Structure 1
């Protein structure tokens, strides 16, 4: 199994959007049985809440399920359990590396690291900007490139 965790600040906008989109993408490619996909937030402010209304609305428009998704805060065990921990921005990467410390862990990086032709490093937080469509487009490109990377890395 390949374990993938998407992480943002509160786990209600960007990371659940990425989780739902990545789930659909691996299902469409017939790879769902090979993946465990989840999302989490650095903070626990929204723990137990469904994805943000803006995320839900956009996923509904695109026909992408987010059924059963609830915000949760990252825990220490996530660092060693997940093969790929994908952050939405550099601040989240820093927080994840702080949690991980110097112990053994797998890949921790930003989603947009996989999108070489885009100058942006971070997926902006639509909780503050309200621009859920821009975020969707960035995540869509990012997960496509990330899946290509994983398939090569895992010989799929």
Structure 2
């Protein structure tokens, strides 16, 4: 099993969007039995909440399932249990690297690292920008590239 965890700040916009999109891509590839996919936030403000209305709308508009998703906070154990810990931006990446300390952890990267030609390095936070369409397009392409990367290196 390949375990993938998407991480943003509050786990209501970017990381649940990435989780849902990646789940869809994995299902379309017929690989559901080979993956565990989840998302979490570095902050605790939204624990137990559904994704942001903007995230839910853009996912629905693109026929991506978002059922049964609730925000949670990333835990130190997650860093040992997941093979790929995917941060949405440099701040999340820094927080994750500080959390991991000297213990073993999965591969920690930013999501847009999987789009080599991308001029954008951080997924913008639509909670502040309101631009859920831009975020969806970036996340959708990066998830496609991430799945290609994992199939090449892990499956």
Please give the range of the TM-score, normalised by the shorter of the 2 chains: over 0.9
Partner of 1:151: 151
Query: TM (normalized to structure 2)?
Result: 0.99
Q: CA offset at residue 47 of structure 1? A: 0.3
- Residue by residue over 1:67-111, the C-alpha shift from the partner in whole angstroms, topping out at 9 and shown as x without a partner, is 000000001110000000000001100000000011111100100
1:3-82 pair list within 5 angstroms: 3-82=3-82
Is 1:127–2:124 an aligned residue pair? Answer: no
Tell me, in whole angstroms, the C-alpha distance in 2 between the residues paired with 1:97 and 1:118.
23
CA RMSD of aligned residues (A): 0.5
- Residue by residue over 1:19-54, the C-alpha shift from the partner in whole angstroms, topping out at 9 and shown as x without a partner, is 000000000000010000000000010000000000
Tell me, in whole angstroms, the C-alpha distance in 1 between the residues paired with 2:67 and 2:94.
30
Tell me, in whole angstroms, the C-alpha distance in 1 between the residues paired with 2:120 and 2:133.
16
Runs of 4 or more, structure 1, over 6 Å off, are none
Aligned residues: 155
1:107-126 pair list within 5 angstroms: 107-126=107-126
Query: TM (normalized to structure 1)?
Result: 0.98
Tell me, in whole angstroms, the C-alpha distance in 1 between the residues paired with 2:105 and 2:59.
31
Tell me, in whole angstroms, the C-alpha distance in 1 between the residues paired with 2:144 and 2:65.
18
- Residue by residue over 1:115-144, the C-alpha shift from the partner in whole angstroms, topping out at 9 and shown as x without a partner, is 111111100000000000000000011001
Tell me, in whole angstroms, the C-alpha distance in 2 between the residues paired with 1:61 and 1:144.
18
**Unaligned stretches of 5+ residues in structure 1:** none
Q: Secondary structure at the residue paired with 1:151?
A: helix
